[in-house]
Amino acid sequence: MMDDARSFPDDLTGYFLIAETELHDPNFFRTVVLMVSHNSDGAFGLVINRRSDVLLGEVVEDFEDSPVEDLPVFVGGPVQQNYIFSLHSGIPTGWSSEHVEEPAPGVFFEPSFQHLADFMGSDEFGGLPVQERPRVHVYAGYSGWGPGQLEGELEEGAWLVHPAQAPIVFHDNPEEGWREALSKKGSFYRIVAQTGFKPSLN
């Protein structure tokens, strides 16, 4: 049975917003947004499944010829795309800023990209075997909603919600994120994820 699109937690921090098939806004078509914060002042999130063709070393000079110069830059949303935001799977405490947040288990939002940049440019990071390095995703821009705006979109059925999961945030094939997140909603949505449209319930 389909979920009631109007049934959602008051605080969506740590949840995925999964675009409904009818959401055709090009900024959010078949996207998954990790909600980093949600309160009476509005909402802030990052699209986690839209990888761009731009690499970190092309936009941040300090990372040219570094171990992470080929890190892809994701499009976090349509707001302030000249700013870089980041998510990671956990870095040593001494390198994090005091404002680091963990909106979902194993997913950390670092508002100070410079702290993460310092760690990735350090000998400590460079000395780690590739498979032992923390997962790091960087985003140009973010997705934002003013007070009550997101609630209105949820009432209209633009989004589904589901608890966020680190394996989808840091998916090796981010383009599959929408299908995988949608499949987590259950059997009906597995069909939607596979076909891209809702089967008739008549």
CATH number of 52-141: 3.40.1740.10
In tens digits, the chain (202 residues) has pLDDT values of 334 445 788 899 999 999 998 888 999 999 999 999 999 999 999 999 999 999 988 887 777 777 788 889 999 999 999 999 999 999 988 898 889 999 999 999 998 888 888 898 888 998 899 889 999 999 999 999 999 999 999 999 999 999 999 999 999 999 999 999 988 887 767 667 666 656 554 4
Chain mean pLDDT for the chain: 88
CATH number of 15-48+144-195: 3.40.1740.10
- The residue extents of the domains of the chain are 15-48+144-195, 52-141
pLDDT in tens, 126-159: 889 988 999 999 999 999 999 999 999 999 999 9
Which stretches of the chain are DSSP H helices?
A: 56-59, 113-120, 123-126, 149-155, 166-169, 177-183, 187-195
Q: CA-to-CA distance for 114 and 5, rounded, in angstroms?
A: 38
pLDDT recorded at residue 73? 94
Q: CA-to-CA distance for 33 and 22, rounded, in angstroms?
A: 16
pLDDT in tens, 178-188: 999 988 887 76
Q: CA-to-CA distance for 157 and 21, rounded, in angstroms?
A: 10
pTM confidence score: 0.90
